[in-house]
Structure 1
Amino acid sequence: MAQLYFYYSTMNAGKSTSLLQSSYNYRERGMNTLVMTASIDDRYGIGKVSSRIGIESDAQVFSATDNLIDMIATSHEADKLHCVLVDECQFLSKEQVKQLTYVVDVLNIPVLCYGLRNDFQGELFSGSQYLLAWADKLVELKTICHCGRKANMVVRLDGEGNALREGEQVEIGGNESYESVCRKHFRELIWD
């Protein structure tokens, strides 16, 4: 029986690495996977999922208005899918998360979603909110703060490395723009 999984964490916890490893494991056993990623994140090129450790895969891109049932069903009809893996799932809309539940419940294809839980102000992303509510399995991937505690928050940095308290929820960036920290350090930088 297929299930909807949400693998969440802060930045630099190995989400993309884990996704790529899962896809590799399926393919190594002769099974087909569909790797998908948000079109908004083109840091490594359009239609690519890349890991900081140097591995990557081609991916089908989705935008906020795409119907994922149609995209996945088309791929499934062309070549039977055994698993769908979604990177940057925090950018999914509520409707798209609902569509992924259809893929699991009706098409009977497992869906593994990987993404951030919350933004740089400590607020949930829309896709993450509904995955937390509707996923069958929730798995936290862990990374650490500079102090050694578990990092569960993300801080956005300006050009000089200072924490920002305001701004648009989505601003694509990597280590130059974001730092994963524990809640204590997030409190000191953002809330206090």
Structure 2
Amino acid sequence: MAKLHFRYAAMNAGKSTALLQVAHNYDSLGKRMMLVKPSVDLKGGDRIVSRLGVERPVDFLWADGEPLNVTKADYDVILVDEAQFLSPRQANDLLDVAVRVGVTVIAYGLRTDFRGDSFPGAARLLTVAHEIEEIRTLCACGSKATMNLRSINGVPVFAGDQVAIDDGSVQYESVCAACHQRFREEAGASWD
């Protein structure tokens, strides 16, 4: 039976690298796959880009409201990068592809944003996915990183648009909850 898998992590944990490795494995087995990313993800244009320098073109840049036309005859697996940027409707569509169409879906993404809030797509995937797997990474302090810290020109920020793609002035790092809270307090930011 096909399943919907959601593999999540903090920033810089290697999610895109893991997806590209899975794609390589399916390729080596001669399996048919579709690589997808939300059209709102502007990083890399029409490519899945790993910070390690590995990249691959996507087959489908998926806009919210656009159908995901998939049949069992066409694909063995669908791999989705940056799944946090999906809408809840798109997450439901992925579940439908796994359950109704019978094609395995493996989605990779962040669980939370820099403020510690859920991304709507990730929240829905955490709710409906058959299997959920955390990809672990470390904070600079050595603890398990579970949060994302956004800095603009080197200064941690806790307010602003949920989505801000790296452009040189915006940086992200994975941090543990304790370090995230410490940076939050130093910035005078509250959870409100």
Deviations 1:5-57 (A, max 9, x none): 0000011100001101111111111111100012222222x210011112111
Contact 2:87 2:120 in 1 (8 A): yes
Q: 2: distance between equivalents of 1:42 and 1:123?
A: 21
Alignment match, 1:86: 80
Deviations 1:49-72 (A, max 9, x none): 01111211110211223222x3x3
User: Could you list the runs of 5+ residues in structure 2 that have no partner in the other structure?
Assistant: none
Alignment match, 1:36: 36
Q: 1: distance between equivalents of 2:167 and 2:150?
A: 10
Contact 1:64 1:91 in 2 (8 A): no
Asked if residue 151 in structure 1 is aligned to residue 145 in structure 2, the reply is yes
1:99 to 81, 88, 93: 93
Q: How does 1:71-150 map to 2 (within 5 A)?
A: 72-73=70-71, 80-150=74-144
Alignment match, 2:3: 3
Q: 1: distance between equivalents of 2:181 and 2:98?
A: 38
Greater helix content: 1
Local SS of the residue matching 2:157: coil
Q: How does 1:14-33 map to 2 (within 5 A)?
A: 14-33=14-33
Deviations 1:147-172 (A, max 9, x none): 1111100011011x111011011111
Q: 1: distance between equivalents of 2:136 and 2:84?
A: 17
Q: Following superposition, which runs of at least 4 residues in structure 1 exceed 4 angstroms of deviation? A: none
Residue correspondences, number: 184
Q: 1: distance between equivalents of 2:67 and 2:75?
A: 17
Moved more, 25-34 or 166-175: 166-175
Alignment match, 1:165: 158
Letter in 2 for 1:127: G
Asked if residue 52 in structure 1 is aligned to residue 51 in structure 2, the reply is yes
Letter in 1 for 2:25: N
The verdict on how the C-alpha distance between 1:174 and 1:29 changes in structure 2, with shifts beyond 3 A counting, is farther
Q: 2: distance between equivalents of 1:42 and 1:96?
A: 18
Q: 1: distance between equivalents of 2:29 and 2:112?
A: 34
Q: Which TM-score applies when normalising by structure 1?
A: 0.91
Local SS of the residue matching 1:20: helix
Cα RMSD over matched residues? 1.6
Local SS of the residue matching 2:93: helix
Q: 2: distance between equivalents of 1:15 and 1:3?
A: 19
Letter in 2 for 1:9: A
Local SS of the residue matching 2:95: helix
Q: What is the deviation of 1:174?
A: 7.2
Q: 2: distance between equivalents of 1:7 and 1:174?
A: 25
Contact 2:36 2:62 in 1 (8 A): yes
Q: Which TM-score applies when normalising by structure 2?
A: 0.91
User: Could you list the runs of 5+ residues in structure 1 that have no partner in the other structure?
Assistant: none
